[in-house]
């Protein structure tokens, strides 16, 4: 019996460009059902570009991207719409509509893609908000919430249609360590409870080591993947000094001697 895990996302020979400048070249990647994958690397390495291609916001210059065997780079609008039903997206700033309540923001995708009556939508919205510890905040506006609460509200909206795959862009950026840890715990809880596949773009070493099952490291010079695997193993065993430096940068910073006159 074949015990190979199912690749729910397949990237094949992806090439991404901005104008004539290649950002990613010949990228091949499998992302497996139920795993938490972190896309990491230094500034300008193509993390955000990769994410935009994975969610269909940009079309590849070359190559294919399949979500549950649906080629989202084929130009077939019907196929792309079907793939969109399988994903949820948490954008870096939450991307909530400021003039709408939290409940109204979470209800938007449900209203767009289902025929549920208003009472059922309201019940589902309350359930989603409770799942991210925002029960009772249905009638608050985004301006009335803290940064961490806005992230959780964005997460509730991303989960509104029970997606198989969740994409998260810097989910702890701008948050203090305590709130960041709460977001990380929430991500783990969602993954453990319902098995959602998660793809996370992050700079945070804490998140990488606490949350990610596997990491893929991109490099600006290589214009592609230079390492992938368990972050704990890459930290100590990678033959690539750039990879080891990335994973050990926090320790190096802690050893820095302050200059004194």
Is the predicted pLDDT of residue 138 greater than 90, yes or no? yes
Q: Helix 147-158 crosses helix 118-131 at what angle (to 10 degrees)?
A: 130
Torsion of CA 156, 157, 159, 164, to 10 degrees: -150
* Eight-class DSSP state of 65: E
Is the predicted pLDDT of residue 117 greater than 90, yes or no? yes
* Eight-class DSSP state of 144: G
Is the predicted pLDDT of residue 254 greater than 90, yes or no? no
Is the predicted pLDDT of residue 260 greater than 70, yes or no? no
Q: What pLDDT is stored for residue 78 in this prediction?
A: 87
Low-confidence winner among 70-74, 76-80, 198-202, 253-257 (lowest mean pLDDT): 253-257
Spatial distance between the Cα atoms of 157 and 146, rounded to a whole number of angstroms: 17
Instruction: Give tens-digit pLDDT for 49-74.
Output: 999 999 999 999 999 999 999 999 88
Q: What pLDDT is stored for residue 4 in this prediction?
A: 66
Percentage of the chain exceeding pLDDT 70: 94
Assign 2 a pLDDT band (cuts: 50, 70, 90).
low
Q: What pLDDT is stored for residue 108 in this prediction?
A: 93
Is the predicted pLDDT of residue 101 greater than 80, yes or no? yes
Q: Choose which CATH entry (3.20.20.70, 3.40.50.720, 3.40.50.300, 3.30.365.10) describes domain 34-57+87-249.
A: 3.40.50.300
Low-confidence winner among 1-5, 43-47, 58-62, 188-192 (lowest mean pLDDT): 1-5
Q: What pLDDT is stored for residue 251 in this prediction?
A: 46
Mean pLDDT of 103-107: 95
The domains of the chain are located at 34-57+87-249
Instruction: Give tens-digit pLDDT for 188-241.
Output: 999 999 899 999 999 899 999 999 999 999 999 999 999 999 999 999 899 998
Q: Helix 102-113 crosses helix 147-158 at what angle (to 10 degrees)?
A: 10
Could you identify the residue written with the tokens 């208003």? Answer: 118
Q: Which helix (H) or strand (E) holds 201?
A: strand 197-201
Mean pLDDT of 239-245: 89
Mean pLDDT of 82-108: 91
Task: Output 6 or 4, whichever has higher pLDDT.
Answer: 6
Is the predicted pLDDT of residue 253 greater than 60, yes or no? no
Mean predicted lDDT score pLDDT of the chain: 89
Token pair recorded at residue 184: 């990380």
């Amino acid at each position: 019996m074949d015990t190979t895990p199912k690749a729910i996302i397949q990237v094949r020979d992806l090439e991404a460009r901005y104008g004539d400048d290649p950002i990613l070249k010949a990228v091949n990647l499998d992302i497996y059902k139920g795993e938490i994958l972190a896309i990491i690397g230094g500034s300008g390495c193509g993390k955000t570009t990769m994410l935009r291609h994975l969610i269909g916001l940009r079309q590849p210059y070359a190559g294919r991207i399949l979500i549950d065997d649906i080629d989202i780079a084929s130009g077939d609008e019907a196929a792309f719409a079907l793939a969109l039903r399988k994903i949820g997206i948490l954008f870096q700033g939450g991307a909530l509509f400021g003039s709408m309540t939290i409940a109204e923001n979470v209800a938007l995708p449900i209203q767009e893609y289902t025929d549920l009556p208003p009472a059922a939508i309201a019940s589902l919205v309350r359930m989603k908000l409770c799942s991210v510890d925002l029960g009772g905040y249905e009638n608050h506006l985004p301006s009335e919430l803290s940064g961490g609460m806005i992230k959780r509200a964005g997460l509730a909206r991303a989960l509104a249609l029970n997606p198989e795959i969740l994409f998260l862009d810097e989910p702890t950026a701008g948050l203090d360590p305590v709130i960041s840890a709460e977001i990380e715990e929430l991500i783990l809880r969602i993954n453990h409870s319902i098995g959602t596949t998660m793809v996370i773009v992050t700079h945070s070493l804490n998140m990488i080591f606490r949350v990610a099952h596997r990491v893929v490291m991109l490099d600006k010079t290589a214009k592609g993947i230079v390492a992938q695997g368990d972050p704990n193993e890459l930290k100590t065993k990678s033959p690539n000094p750039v990879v080891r430096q990335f994973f050990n940068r926090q320790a190096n910073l802690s050893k820095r001697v302050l200059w004194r006159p």
